[in-house]
């Protein structure tokens, strides 16, 4: 794998961001709206005096971490879509670029955009609503690592799905994180779910993060083994998503389906 090719994929995305300022809306606009909306929701419930937990740390913290996962997923996915929308995908693979280098470039793009988005969320939530992420202590590393890895897995998986089904299937990729949200226990304990649905939560790394965060804020110490389980699951899903993408790429290349990304990209 040539690092300069990985950097070239990343650099192209940065040039796209610099030349089209409206693309920054995907990084900052929705983040700002989410923080403002949930920030005022937490202030309202706190003002009622009927809730005996720190809602700023629990509810607002949960939405910030969940948004971070979505930004990681979309960082990979949107970078791929940029190549599809510009009808540049086939051109890239007419070069010596390998699948591993291309995916690594998408991941590097996601790392930068999601990190910038996370820092912006933390600063904005701190100024506007007094949120302090450091109340999570060193456990924050495990929380962010799990969500980051699972976000990458979702991003690589969704690009693979679109690669297999064609550009017109782009609509399918956007709601995937929101479909998983109810099972991840973002805003409520997993025990709230019906018994038949709880096993699904055990398969989702984010559920270990949000359960651990609530336990940390209420009891003071989360279950370390549970946090490690979340990290291990997330690593497994990243590897699975990568092999899925590689297999799909070889399939569409062998069957000639990859040509759809020239013919359908503008109409899809």
* pLDDT confidence of residue 94: 74
Mean pLDDT of the chain: 84
Q: Is the pLDDT of residue 263 over 60?
A: no
Q: Give just the sign of the alpha carbon dihedral 73, 78, 81, 83.
A: negative
* pLDDT digits 0-9 by tens, 119-153: 989 998 888 888 888 888 889 999 999 999 999 99
Q: What is the percent of the chain with per-residue pLDDT over 90, rounded to a whole number?
A: 29
Q: What is the residue extent of each domain of the chain?
A: 3-263
Region 93-104 average pLDDT: 84
Euclidean distance between CA atoms 101 and 189, whole angstroms: 39
- Residue 94 phi/psi, 5-degree rounding, is -80, -10
Q: What is the percent of the chain with per-residue pLDDT over 70, rounded to a whole number?
A: 89
Structure tokens given for 177: 């994180």
The DSSP secondary structure of the chain, one letter per residue, reads --HHHHHHHHHHHHHHHHH-GGGGHHHHHHHHHHHHHHHHHHHHHHHHT---S-HIIIIIHHHHHHHHHHHHHHHHHHHHHHHHHTT-HHHHHTTT--HHHHHHHHHHHHHHHHHHHHHHHHHHHHHHH---GGGGTTHHHHHHHHHHHHHHHHHHHHHHHHHHH-GGGHHHHTTHHHHHHHHHTSSS-GGGS-TTTHHHHHT-HHHHHHHHHHHHHHHS---HHHHHHHHHHHHHHHHHHHHHHHHHHHHHHHHTGGGHHHHSTTT-
* pLDDT digits 0-9 by tens, 188-246: 889 889 999 899 999 999 999 999 988 888 877 888 888 999 999 999 999 999 999 99
* pLDDT confidence of residue 61: 85
End-to-end CA distance of the chain: 32
Euclidean distance between CA atoms 71 and 83, whole angstroms: 18
Structure tokens given for 201: 């939560």
Q: Is the pLDDT of residue 267 over 60?
A: no
Euclidean distance between CA atoms 159 and 106, whole angstroms: 10
* pLDDT confidence of residue 31: 81
Predicted TM-score of the model (pTM): 0.88
The DSSP secondary structure of 164-230, one letter per residue, reads HH-GGGHHHHTTHHHHHHHHHTSSS-GGGS-TTTHHHHHT-HHHHHHHHHHHHHHHS---HHHHHHH
Region 178-192 average pLDDT: 88
Structure tokens given for 209: 């993060």
* pLDDT confidence of residue 243: 94
* pLDDT confidence of residue 41: 78
* pLDDT confidence of residue 265: 43
Side-chain-side CA neighbours of 143 within 13 Å: the count stands at 28
* pLDDT confidence of residue 56: 66
Q: Is the pLDDT of residue 52 over 60?
A: no
* pLDDT confidence of residue 150: 96
Euclidean distance between CA atoms 54 and 249, whole angstroms: 47
């Amino acid at each position: 794998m040539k690092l300069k090719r990985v950097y070239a994929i990343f650099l192209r995305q940065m040039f796209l961001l610099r030349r089209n300022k409206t693309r920054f809306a995907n990084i900052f606009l929705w983040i700002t709206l989410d923080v403002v909306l949930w920030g005022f929701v937490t202030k309202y419930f706190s003002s009622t005096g009927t809730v005996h937990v720190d809602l700023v740390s629990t509810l607002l913290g949960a939405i910030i971490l969940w948004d971070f996962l979505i930004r990681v997923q979309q960082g990979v996915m949107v970078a791929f879509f940029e190549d599809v929308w510009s009808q540049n995908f086939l051109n890239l693979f007419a070069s010596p670029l390998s699948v591993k280098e291309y995916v690594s470039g998408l991941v590097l793009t996601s790392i930068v955009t999601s990190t910038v988005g996370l820092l912006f969320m933390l600063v904005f939530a701190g100024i506007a609503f007094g949120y302090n992420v450091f109340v999570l202590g060193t456990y924050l590393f495990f929380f962010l690592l799990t969500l980051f890895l699972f976000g990458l897995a979702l991003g690589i998986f969704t690009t693979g799905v679109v690669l297999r089904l064609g550009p017109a299937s782009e609509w399918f990729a956007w709601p995937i994180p929101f479909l998983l949200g109810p099972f991840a226990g973002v805003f409520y304990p997993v025990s709230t779910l019906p018994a038949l649905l709880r096993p699904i939560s055990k398969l989702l790394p984010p559920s270990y993060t949000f359960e651990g965060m609530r336990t940390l804020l209420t009891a003071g110490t989360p279950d370390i083994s549970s946090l490690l389980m979340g990290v291990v699951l997330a690593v497994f899903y990243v590897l699975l998503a990568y092999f899925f993408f590689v297999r799909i790429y070889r399939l569409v290349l062998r069957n000639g389906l990859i040509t759809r990304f020239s013919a359908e990209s503008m109409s899809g």
